[in-house]
Amino acid sequence: MSTPRKNDDQYLWKNPLAVWGAKGGNYDVPSIRVEDPRTVWRKTTSYKAPLHKVGRFKYIHKWANHGKRLWKRQRWWPTRRSVLLIRGLYNRKTLKAEKSIVDKRPIYWAISLLALVLVPLFVPESLQFTILTAGATFGIFAAINVCWTLVIGTASIFSLATYAVVGTAAFLTAWLSINLGLPWWMLPPIGMLVGIVFGGILALPALRLDGFYYALLTLGLNELCRVYFVTSSEFGSASGGLYGASTYIGAAWAPLTQSVVSYYGAFALLVASLFLFRFIDGRRLGRILRMAPEKREAFAEATGVNYRQARVTVFLVSSVALGFIGGFYTAQYRGVAYAIFGFDTVLLGLAMLTIGGIGRVEGAVAGTLIVVVLDKVFITLGPIRHIMIGVLMLFVVLFLKNGLFGMKQQFRAWRDKKKGEWRSSRTEKGGEALPEEATEIDDKDILYRKRFDKMQREHLKTLVCEEVIEEHKNKPLGQHSEALERLLLYFRRTPQNDKYAIRRDSRGKRYKIVAFSGVRGTSPRLVEDKEYETVEEAYHGVFRRRVYDLLEA
């Protein structure tokens, strides 16, 4: 029952009251030495696990706030949308009122777009043409990818025919411009018409097919467009594309002016596509479709969401936008090459989306930037730059759950998992509340009481030994040695429910151990059938039970 002790732990305890002739209690008993409770307290309350600083990063500035100021918000005139979503809260430590920006993305967008506006002013002379050309390509491809994100992410239609729509619109507008002499400003609207027709044709199978069946079908349709345009007699030519359409870039302008104008034209296209994304994904249609993600359509349908109509609407709208981009493409480059239908274009486009994160508009733009910089700026590297893009794509697919912009979420999930592991490894079990449930209990006194109780029990367990039990057996009442006294004080303080008591049988004059129910009106239950002759024996029986419970718990 008790751990073996060294001999010098034992000593002969003398009852201090004995000299006064007190009745009851032992006069002297062999007992064990009890350590100074202050030492025990210091030892048990010292924290063994290494501590790390917790809390907010000091370098993140928080603006001071006043409750009144929260109601003043800057809004985009004339709508009621606020420029920045700001939440007021009180610092839990200093109790100061603070402002916190809930969604910082508008700030990042503004900074990035401003940087794109300023790029032409700061490029070095030697790289001017390379970077401006790459920037124009980036603007157009980013606009295409934003629309593609609308199809894949918002409408969750895994279409790979995006570039086919753009290419078809570009080819048809180029052909019309060459043969009918249409001016450049008519090309994007005509492209929109082409887009809606092509989008309508593509939307038909999208209603029936799901997921990868549709992806593979559209991959084939892309190839179909390529083969058709390459082999047809109207569009086919030896120059690898159809060129000679009218353009908004004046042929008489200086080469640098041409580059700058085409850069800002493409940038305007990108901003327009971002607005389109915002107005579809951030409003009613986007909300409806967020209700009906893939494989949960049945639930959405049951709640009355007509997700098919919403998907087809988004698909058609983005097809129109892609047609517009196709027309713009022709108006910018005077025509279009067959390469736009190529498998490699689809591959690079998918690489752009994947690297940034499929379904995120910031991912689409950032991925386009990375791929276009690798592809167009490092053009001297030859095939190696495509290998680099492929390796980047492979890395992202293998290690990131949802592209570069999913990294934060993925890191947080990983960190929370690790945190839980570390915490559980240093938590001591037994009586104490687990950290997870501790946050749920409002009255923190309960937690401290539990922790103190656990520490006390751990200490009292070390006091139980043969001598103490023998001492209690000899004299259950009266003055006791320190070890026994501490045990008895703890036992007497236990709460009423399931507390042991002694009941005297009125006829047989014998004693039995019972336990209180702790509920008024409910009689105590009988703990055991054993009967005791005297009340002292019964006291000792209760003591043995309590010691047993202490050691077992």
Partner 1 sequence: MDIEFILINGIVIACIYGLIAVAVSITWSSLGLLNLGYGFIFAFAGYGAYVTSRSLSEYPPVVLAAGVLVGAVGGVIICALIFIPLHEKPNFTVRGMVGTLAISLIGSQGLLWWFGPRNKALPEIFGRWQVEIGGTVLTSDKIGIVVCSIVMLILIVRWMRSSRRGLEIRAMMMNPHAASIVGIGIRKTGFYVMGITGAMTGLAAVLLSQTYYISPFSGITPLIKGVSIALLGGLGSVRGAVIASVILGFAESLTSTVLGGQYVLITQFLIIIAILMIRPRGIAGILDVAREQ
| Contact predicate 134/372, CB 8 Å | yes
CB atoms within 10 A of CB 304: 7
Question: Cα–Cα distance between 539 and 526 in angstroms, integer?
Answer: 15
Q: Least Å distance between CB 406 and partner 1?
A: 10
Q: Which is nearer to partner 1, 127 or 387 (CB)?
A: 387
Q: Which is nearer to partner 1, 317 or 393 (CB)?
A: 393
Structure tokens at 195: 């887009």
Q: Least Å distance between CB 356 and partner 1?
A: 12
Contacts to partner 1 by CB under 8 A: 158, 204-205, 208-213, 215-217, 219-221, 223-224, 227-228, 231-232, 343-344, 347-348, 350-351, 354, 358, 382-384, 386-387, 389-391, 393-394, 397-398, 401-402
**CA angle (383, 384, 388) in 5-degree steps:** 125
| Contact predicate 169/340, CB 8 Å | no
Q: Which is nearer to partner 1, 31 or 222 (CB)?
A: 222
Q: Least Å distance between CB 270 and partner 1?
A: 24
Q: Least Å distance between CB 135 and partner 1?
A: 24
Q: Which is nearer to partner 1, 103 or 234 (CB)?
A: 234
Q: Which is nearer to partner 1, 150 or 221 (CB)?
A: 221
Q: Which is nearer to partner 1, 327 or 356 (CB)?
A: 356
Cis peptide before 78 (omega within 30 of 0): yes
Beta strand ranges found along 215-308 (DSSP E)? 241-243
Q: Which is nearer to partner 1, 30 or 236 (CB)?
A: 236
| Contact predicate 175/212, CB 8 Å | no
| Contact predicate 549/527, CB 8 Å | no
**Which residues are registered as beta bridge partners of 501?**
514
| Contact predicate 366/404, CB 8 Å | yes
Q: Which is nearer to partner 1, 392 or 433 (CB)?
A: 392
- 3 state SS of 167: helix
DSSP label at 154? I
Q: Least Å distance between CB 241 and partner 1?
A: 17
Q: Least Å distance between CB 446 and partner 1?
A: 39
Alpha helices in 181-306 (DSSP H): 187-208, 211-231, 255-281, 284-291, 297-302
Q: Least Å distance between CB 338 and partner 1?
A: 13
Question: Cα–Cα distance between 132 and 245 in angstroms, integer?
Answer: 22
| Contact predicate 106/112, CB 8 Å | no
Q: Least Å distance between CB 412 and partner 1?
A: 15
Question: Cα–Cα distance between 340 and 411 in angstroms, integer?
Answer: 37
